[in-house]
Chain A
Amino acid sequence: DVKVTQSSRYLVKRTGEKVFLECVQDMDHENMFWYRQDPGLGLRLIYFSYDVKMKEKGDIPEGYSVSREKKERFSLILESASTNQTSMYLCASSPVGGRYGYTFGSGTRLTVV
């Protein structure tokens, strides 16, 4: 079964910590995405990547960065975690072309205290 795997299901971090969220897909997809999901705000796009070493800002990139050194892996980095970054983080991948939708990972619920 094809999969998008996020490294942690639940994570608790302290304010000011540097946080790494890892995402790996085994479908040889070109496109990878990071979203956060908050009640009442829906899914908001943080960053995306169409190829290795490429990255594009989404709608809410402030406070985040990303890394894509290999095709199958897309990492989200919170440079200095803050309480307003407490959220559900969802990674997704898709083939190039945009016609087939995304496959999502199971999500990481991050709490910053």
Chain B
Amino acid sequence: QKEVEQNSGPLSVPEGAIASLNCTYSDRGSQSFFWYRQYSGKSPELIMFIYSNGDKEDGRFTAQLNKASQYVSLLIRDSQPSDSATYLCAVNKGNTPLVFGKGTRLSVIA
């Protein structure tokens, strides 16, 4: 059974701090890694994807991938109250369906 594990939270950070969200996956053959943001009552929205080991930056977001440790993380710099949401990690291999974690709830306190 392929699994993606995330801490459910809530993760509370003060406004302006760095939020660090973590995810581990069980299938060592996984090739593509995604982070989705989901606001309460809304559908998931893709914010980052990463394929190679290392860091990928997009604005205030940085995705980090370590395939040897089967670990992917999302850093949010200068966190804002509008970043408060549930963040879903997802992985896949080739043209297979994404396997989602259950999500980490982030709360940014003003």
Contacts and interface: CB of A to CB of B under 8 A. Distances in A.
B49 interface: yes
B95 A104 contact: no
B69 interface: no
B109 interface: no
Contacts of B88: 42-43
Interface of B is mostly: loop
Contacts of B98: 98, 101-102
A43 B96 contact: no
B95 A101 contact: no
Contacts of B45: 104
B93 interface: yes
Interface residues of A, number: 23
A74 interface: no
A37 to B, nearest CB: 9
B32 interface: yes
Contacts of B87: none
B99 to A, nearest CB: 8
A99 B51 contact: yes
Given A42-B103, A98-B92, A104 B97 contact: no
Instruction: Identify which of B44, B49, B97, B103 gathers the most chain A CB atoms within 10 Å of its CB.
Output: B97
Contacts of A99: 31-32, 49, 51
Given A99-B32, A101-B49, A106 B93 contact: no
Contacts of A42: 88, 100-103
| Most B Cβ at <10 Å: residue of A40, A96, A101, A102 | A101
A47 B24 CA distance: 25
A75 interface: no
Given A90-B43, A96-B95, 19 more contacts: A33-B97, A41-B102, A43-B44, A43-B88, A43-B100, A48-B97, A50-B95, A97-B95, A98-B92, A98-B95, A100-B49, A101-B34, A101-B36, A101-B49, A102-B44, A102-B46, A104-B43, A105-B43, A107-B43
